[in-house]
């Protein structure tokens, strides 16, 4: 399933630190392949990795304000929180699935349990 984490509003030129996000992903999954060849607007940097649930992939929009995730929900939640940790507190971050069966704002400092509660309440 595909999930998205997108910064909404005026980000004032902010974009995710690609190196810091890569470090966070590598801290979770030991075997991570990165591909920085520009394939499209939404695939400017791609991370491929093996999760406990099978293969996963995350990719960053070229403007650095949207993370797409083709992973299981629990892995997507972890990735969203890693992305949130790199996002300034004054910016809104929205987490949703591709079908918009849920759409939640992720405040700074949100835990995995809190995010699961938000998602379950929205879905």
Over residues 70-75, the mean pLDDT reads: 94
Instruction: Indicate if the pLDDT at residue 10 is higher than 80.
Output: no
Evaluated on CA atoms 84, 98, 23, 8, the torsion sign reads: negative
Q: Using a CB cutoff of 8 Å and minimum separation of 24, what contacts does 55-58 make?
A: 56/29, 58/25
Question: Which domains are seen in the chain, by residue range?
Answer: 2-122 (3.30.310)
pLDDT at site 1 = 83
User: What tokens does 109 get?
Assistant: 């400092």
Predicted TM-score (pTM) of the model is 0.92
Angle at 68 between CA 29 and CA 73, to 5 degrees: 60
Over residues 40-63, the mean pLDDT reads: 91
Query: What's the pLDDT tens digit per position in 80-109?
Result: 999 999 999 999 999 999 888 899 999 999
């Amino acid at each position: 399933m595909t999930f998205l984490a997108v910064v909404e509003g005026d980000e004032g030129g902010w974009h995710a630190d690609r190196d810091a996000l890569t470090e966070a992903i590598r801290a979770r999954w030991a075997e991570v392949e990165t591909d920085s060849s520009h394939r499209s607007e939404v695939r400017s940097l791609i991370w491929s990795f093996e999760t406990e649930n099978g293969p996963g992939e995350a990719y960053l929009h070229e403007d650095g304000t949207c993370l797409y995730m083709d992973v299981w929900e629990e892995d997507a939640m972890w990735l969203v929180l890693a992305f949130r940790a790199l996002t300034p507190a004054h910016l809104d971050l929205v987490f949703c699935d591709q079908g918009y069966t849920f759409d939640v704002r992720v405040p700074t400092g949100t835990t995995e349990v809190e995010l699961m509660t938000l998602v379950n309440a929205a879905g």
